[in-house]
Structures are given as structure tokens and as C-alpha cells.
Structure 1
Amino acid sequence: MWSRRWMWIAWPAFLAAGVMEVLIFAVFDPQDMVWLGQSLEMSRTAIYTLSFFVLWGVFVGAGFMTVLLSLPRAEVNGQTPTPTAATRDWRLQESLEACYPNNA
């Protein structure tokens, strides 16, 4: 299941990093950038590549935290979830709606 969750994280992060890369470098020229008072001595391609992977890492971190915070408490703690009355009622309601979709 974690392999599927990693794809939920990595693919949107890849797309977001690509979009952010385009937006940032549409405004800033990599050759004009300064780091700690010195100009960067790298080629434009190297700066584009490095910044893409940094942005991808930031978005992967944000996605991982989102997935981690959305997990049920029992799954995070490695426990088996115990069904409660509310869970059973919700599942019963869901199965009834699946059987009778037009019943309001």
C-alpha cells in the first residue's frame, strides 16, 4: 500500500516542481542569481536541474506530511483498527446507499 501512496506523493510533486520551475525562471535568469554575495559559477542547465530537484524534494516533503497526517491513528501506531458503533453505522449506511442509490 505504501508504494501506491508514494506515487500519490511523487507524481503530483513532480508536476508541481515542473510548474514552479517554469514560473520561477520565467522571472529570474539563473546567470544573474547571487548566493551569499557571490555569483553562481554553474551553467544554466545545472542551476535548472538543481532547483528542480530541490523544489521536487520540498513538494514531496509536503505531500508526505499530508498523507501521514491523514492516516488513521491505528495505522500510524501499527494497531489493528477496532470497529466502533459509529463505524458500523457508517458502513451500513454506505452499503444501503450502494444498494438503493435513488432512495433519498
Structure 2
Amino acid sequence: MGLRSLMWILWPSFMAAAAGSALIFALIDPLDVAIFGHVPTSRMGFYTVSFFVLWVMAGLSSALTAYLMPKVEEDDDF
């Protein structure tokens, strides 16, 4: 996998994570979340962890898409 393929995976996943993080920021108050009981965390910590979780999930999705794409041989002849 080349550097170009890596950027095809990381950049769209970063943008998807940014959009998802903005949605989480607008809709969820981290101090009201009680999934595993009350976990003492700051708002900034919650938003940071949620951004990176979203980025990893979107990155895995983009990587799977890149893996499933048909392989095309690049032809440098003009």
C-alpha cells in the first residue's frame, strides 16, 4: 500500500470523524452520559475520545473499501 492509498483512507475518515464529532458535540452532554455508571471525565476528554473512536471506525470502513476495490494496473504511457 502506497502513501497515496494511505491518504485515500485517512483523509475521508478524518472528515467523517470531524462531522460525527460535531454532531456529538451538538447533541450530547458528556456529563449526563452514564453507560458504565458515572465515569469521572471532563468534557474535553469525552469529545477527544469520541473523535478518535469515530476516526478509527471511519478509517476501518475506508480501508475495507480500498481493499475491496478492483485492482487496476497503472499505465504510465501517455
**Is the shorter-chain TM-score for this pair beyond 0.5, marking a shared fold?**
yes
Percent sequence identity over aligned pairs: 40
**How far is the alpha carbon of 1:35 from its aligned partner?**
2.2
Q: Larger Cα Rg: Structure 1 or Structure 2?
A: 1
- Runs of at least 5 residues in structure 1 that lack an aligned partner in the other structure: 76-80, 82-104
Letter in 2 for 1:67: A
Higher relative contact order (CA 8 A, sep 6+): 2
Q: Extract structure 1 runs of 4+ deviating beyond 2 A.
A: none
Counterpart-to-counterpart distance in 2, 1:28 and 1:48 = 10
Q: How many pairs align? A: 73
Q: What is the aligned-residue RMSD (CA, Å)?
A: 1.7
Give TM-score, length-normalised by structure 1. 0.64
Q: Match for residue 13 of structure 1?
A: 13
Give TM-score, length-normalised by structure 2. 0.84
Counterpart-to-counterpart distance in 1, 2:61 and 2:50 = 17
